[in-house]
Amino acid sequence: MNSSSSDEQPRRRIRDARRAPNNSNNFKVEIPQFEGTLDPNEFLKWLYIVERVFYYKDIPDDKKVKLVALRLQRYASLWWTNLYAK
């Protein structure tokens, strides 16, 4: 039995919908790196941006810590490594 092109159209739309990103704007939004700082205001600015990215990308709570840990650099990365090792 040959499928007609009209039968293929709904399948193609479903397949294409699965590939489509969650938002229609196709913006690339990333969590900025954080190196650590003694200035609490710098940390709060970074944290605010991270929270906005999580909200925009609709990141589930169980993924947030792992994603943030990947973006820590230098002093912040050392702090995280020491904290996580305990």
Q: What is the mean pLDDT of the chain?
A: 81
Count how many domains the chain has: 1
Host domain of residue 36? 5-85
Has residue 59 got a pLDDT over 60? yes
- 21 by Cβ neighbours in 10 Å (0-12 / 13-18 / 19+) ranks as exposed
* Tokens, residue 39: 């200035």
Report pLDDT digits (tens) over 21-52: 555 566 788 999 999 988 999 999 999 999 99
Q: How far is CA 30 from CA 10, 14, 16, 61, in A?
A: 34, 28, 24, 17
Has residue 67 got a pLDDT over 90? yes
Confidence (pLDDT) at 17? 52
Q: Which residue has the tokens 């943030």?
A: 68
Q: What is the pTM of this model?
A: 0.65
